[in-house]
Amino acid sequence: MGVRGSGAWRRAWPMIFLVMGASVLVLSGLGAFRGRDLAPAIFGGLWALGGLVRVVRRRHQERSGTALLVAGILCAALAPGAHLLAQRVESRRTERAAMAALAGRPAPLLEAAHHLNGAGDLATAPGELIVVNFWATWCQPCVAEMPMLQRFAKGHAPETVRLVGATRLYQASPEEELTRLERFLADRGVTYPCLVSADGALQKAFHVHTLPTTVLLDRGRVVAYRIGIRGTREVLAEAERRLVGR
């Protein structure tokens, strides 16, 4: 005889699907995650649950239920890789769109309402190569790449290539947030100049929607635009190559 679920279980498992689906919608609406990014995990989990239900409820469906269960588990297990791949594709699409909008014309001015670490001297900087790194305190990859950026900045005189950080105010009190930003940079040993936009105008001018984003300016024009830590490494390497060719 096969193992059959009780009447209570048969009534309960559709509710499990409903609650899970509702939770996904609520969390997506609250901004906890983007549903499309986690779709493989969500539907893989539901698929696996459906397979498990079929295995438990009816013995003659055990084979198809087991196949469903295995397929669902594989789908959910592969979700992180699929998510990273989707992020990479989206980043490349964003980079191409930004370069299409910025290339071939003078770069936006490096101006902001607030300056940290001597960023006010940018207007008279003699260097022709400028690396601009857009970041935020809440962006973990941004914080993780700061030591790499600091080493690059210390290894190059401003007359050859200048590295500039760029962030914006996110809170209502500019004075308190600027003090917090100064402390944040000092605690991490960051000494390169940083521009702080009051309203995100600098980020909009450079078409920055994802952090970290790093941009390379050569003779006043944008020549490289990359997203993520890997992208930052690529921009720094491109700056090195252009220095050798000077």
Partner residues linked to 11 by β-bridges: none
pLDDT for 157 equals: 79
- Res. 34: pLDDT tops 60: no
The backbone torsions φ and ψ at residue 80, rounded to the nearest 5 degrees and listed phi first, read -60, -40
pLDDT for 206 equals: 96
Q: Which two tokens stand for residue 16?
A: 């499990």
Q: Report the C-alpha gap between 129 and 223 in whole angstroms.
A: 10
Q: Report the C-alpha gap between 232 and 238 in whole angstroms.
A: 10
Task: For residue range 49-74, list pLDDT tens digits in order.
Answer: 666 665 666 654 556 556 656 666 66
Q: What is the CA radius of gyration of the chain?
A: 25
Q: Report the C-alpha gap between 113 and 115 in whole angstroms.
A: 7
pLDDT for 16 equals: 62
Three-state SS for 78-140 is CHHHHHHHHHHHHHHHHHHHHHHHHCCCECCCCCCCEEECCHHHHHHCCCCEEEEEECCCCCH
Query: Could you give the C-alpha distances from 220 to 87, 125, 128, 129, 196, in angstroms and in order?
Result: 30, 12, 7, 8, 20
**Mean per-residue pLDDT, 144-163:** 92
Task: For residue range 77-99, list pLDDT tens digits in order.
Answer: 665 665 566 677 788 888 999 99
Q: What is the mean pLDDT of the chain?
A: 79
C-beta atoms surrounding 216 within 10 Å: 22
- Residue 160 CB-density burial (10 A; 0-12 exposed, 13-18 middle, 19+ buried): middle
Q: Report the C-alpha gap between 132 and 215 in whole angstroms.
A: 5
The backbone torsions φ and ψ at residue 126, rounded to the nearest 5 degrees and listed phi first, read -80, -15
245: DSSP letter: T
- Res. 3: pLDDT tops 50: no
pTM of the model: 0.71
Asked if residues 206 and 132 have their Cβ atoms less than 8 Å apart, the reply is: yes
pLDDT for 177 equals: 92
Q: Report the C-alpha gap between 216 and 164 in whole angstroms.
A: 10
* CB burial string 19-29: b at 16+ within 10 A, e below: eeeeebeeeee
Q: Report the C-alpha gap between 194 and 133 in whole angstroms.
A: 9
Asked if residues 77 and 41 have their Cβ atoms less than 8 Å apart, the reply is: no
